[in-house]
Amino acid sequence: MNTAIRKLVLAYSGGLDTSVILHWIRDHFSCEVVAYCADVGQGDETAGLEHKALTTGASKLYLEDLREEFAREFVFPMMRANAIYESYYLLGTSIARPAIARKQAEIALREGADAVAHGATGKGNDQVRFELTFARLAPQLTVIAPWRHPEWPFKGRADMIAYATEKRIPVPVTSEKPYSMDRNLVHVSYEGGILEDPWREPYADMFRLTVAPENAPDQAEYVEIEYLHGDPVAINGGVLSPAGIIERANQIGGRHGIGRVDLVENRYVGIKSRGVYETPGVTMLLHAHRAVEQLTLDREVMHLRDGLVPRYAEMVYNGHWFAPERESLQALIDQAQRHATGVARLKLYKGAVSIAGRKSINSLYDPAMASFEQTGGYRQADAEGFIRLNGLRLRALAQIESRTPQEKKRIRLQDQCGRAMAENFRATQSAASLKEDSLGKVIQFRPPRPAPKLVPRARSGECPKCGHKKDVHVMHPNGVLTCAARGCLCRTAPVR
Cα–Cα distance measured from residue 270 to residue 273, given in angstroms and rounded to the nearest whole number: 10
Active site residue 17: yes
Residue 25's CB: how many other CB atoms inside 10 A?
23
Answer for the pair 293, 338: CB distance below 8 angstroms, yes or no: no
Active site residue 87: no
Active site residue 182: no
Q: Number of helices and strands (H, E) in the chain?
A: 14, 18
Residue 4's CB: how many other CB atoms inside 10 A?
11
Which amino acid is present at 253?
Answer: G
Answer for the pair 84, 90: CB distance below 8 angstroms, yes or no: yes
SS3 category, 23: helix
97, 260, 305, 358: the catalytic one is 97
Q: What angle do CA 426, 430, 432 make, to 5 degrees?
A: 95
What residues are paired with 273 via a beta bridge? 265
39, 114, 126, 182: the catalytic one is 126
DSSP H helices, 318-461, are 324-336, 367-370, 382-401, 405-428
Cα–Cα distance measured from residue 392 to residue 396, given in angstroms and rounded to the nearest whole number: 6
| Per-residue DSSP letter, 265 | E
Answer for the pair 64, 38: CB distance below 8 angstroms, yes or no: yes
Active site residue 415: no
Cα of 482 vs its chain's centroid, Å: 85
Answer for the pair 262, 189: CB distance below 8 angstroms, yes or no: no
> How many CA atoms lie less than 13 Å away from 33 in the CB half-sphere?
27
What single string gives the DSSP state of each residue in 66-100? -HHHHIIIIIHHHHHTT--BTTTB--HHHHHHHHH
Compute the residue count for the chain. 496
180, 255, 290, 363: the catalytic one is 180
What residues are annotated to the active site? Answer: 17, 97, 126, 180
